[in-house]
Amino acid sequence: RPARPTVAMAPRRKAEVLPLLNPEKESSTPRTPGGSSLRAAGYTCGAVFWVVALGVGAALGFFLSHRVGWGVEQARAGPLDTRAAAEGHRERAVNHTRAPRPFVSRPKGPQTEAICADPPLLSNAGLVLPKCVAANNLLDELLDQVVLPFWLGPDGLGVDCDKGGFANLGLTPDTEGAGESWKLGERFLMPHARTAAAFAKLHASGAFADATDGGDAKDEMPWYYVNGESHPKCLSNGGALALARHALRFATESMRDEENGGYYWSVVASEPLGGKFVPSKSEKRLDALAAVLMASSEIVLAAENNSDAETEAAETADDAFALMMDESKHRDDAARGGYWPEILDEDWHLVAGVGIRGNPRTLAAHLLAMEALGAYVDSLVKRNAGDERVARAAAAL
């Protein structure tokens, strides 16, 4: 066999040429081909990176705060400059930059305090806010143009002139996800009583107080016109007090237990009885009774003295107060105080199977009772009901 030819091999590279993999024997620290330490190089690169990042951030913040207006000064409003507010804008420097303001919160002031937007902004409701406007004027516009049109519109309260009360409180029977109770036409006491109290307070504030029977529609609340009428035909006028009386009247005429006293939690129209409302949930609850007391007391406070509205509401308030003070019902003994049981059946007995643990004293119901009793005390004073009655109601509070 012939001899294999000799192949010349390249000499193996020395370890010193690869310092990253094989450091020199004299040093245990990896080094770059230039001989510098890798650790020192990393420190240098990191320092350069942070210096550049901080410089860019500072420049960007300076630009946004002085050119766009996203400075820290927007986070808190400074004290109101009355002279600048009267002129409709905040004082600016000659070079059209924002004048320096101390970083202090705006103190809470009266409702007539001016609210300034610089530059003018759009509200969540789409209203163009002027540079400076009194807080009460802004709230009046929101009430007239946003809140009331929502509640009084076709998908709002749904005043039911045929059966009384409201067909829906923000929901229609075919509303997706509304629940079977609304599809069955179930009507609850609490929303009706709360609505009555809210609109009575609205009338007492002076809003739409000029609405009268047969008066000008411009004095009424912003109703949606239905069948050519400026307000539902079953209301005497389109004012807030008329709506409050309508809500309370449904509670007293369709939700009151005429045999045992008190009010049902909810009712539903019965077709066999010609559409008459019958209880769907017949329990008697402390918070429902307190809501009726508050609604009727607020109507007394809002109505004119010796008017029909005041007389009707006063009778309802006196009846609700008497039920709350009856020890055979919600009123607890003097030793423990408060109100218990909060939930009773139709005959004012403990609900079967509930027991003490399932029928506790709740803070929510007692706070509502306190609120209602406070309004009732004020209504007694307005009616000149006498010191004895006022003192008894105040003691219950």
SS3 string, 108-160, reads CCCCCCEEECCCCCECCCCCECCCEEEHHHHHHHHHHHHHHHHHHCCCCCCEC
CA distances from 128 to 38, 91, 216 (A): 62, 21, 28
Element (H, E) at 266: strand 266-270
Q: Which residue has the higher pLDDT, 51 or 245?
A: 245
Mean pLDDT (the chain) is: 74
Kindly indicate the confidence band of residue 367, based on its pLDDT and cuts at 50, 70 and 90. Answer: very high
Using CA atoms in the order 134, 135, 139, 144, what is the torsion angle rounded to 10 degrees?
0
Half-sphere exposure of 11 (CA within 13 A, CB side): 3
DSSP state of 350: B
pLDDT tens digit sequence for 259-316: 999 999 999 888 888 888 999 888 899 999 999 999 999 999 999 999 999 999 999 9
Confidence at residue 348, expressed as pLDDT on a 0 to 100 scale: 85
- Higher-confidence residue: 147 or 13? 147
Least confident of 117-131, 189-203, 235-249, 310-324: 117-131
If we measure between CA atoms, which residue out of 279, 273, 272 comes closest to residue 258? 279
Structure tokens at 137: 């004027």
Distance set, CA 18 to CA 15, 117, 261 (Å): 6, 68, 100
More confident residue, 118 or 110: 118
Average pLDDT over residues 70-99: 38
Please state whether the predicted TM-score (pTM) of the whole model is above 0.75: no
How far apart are alpha carbons 15 and 369 in whole angstroms?
91
More confidently predicted of 215 and 354: 215
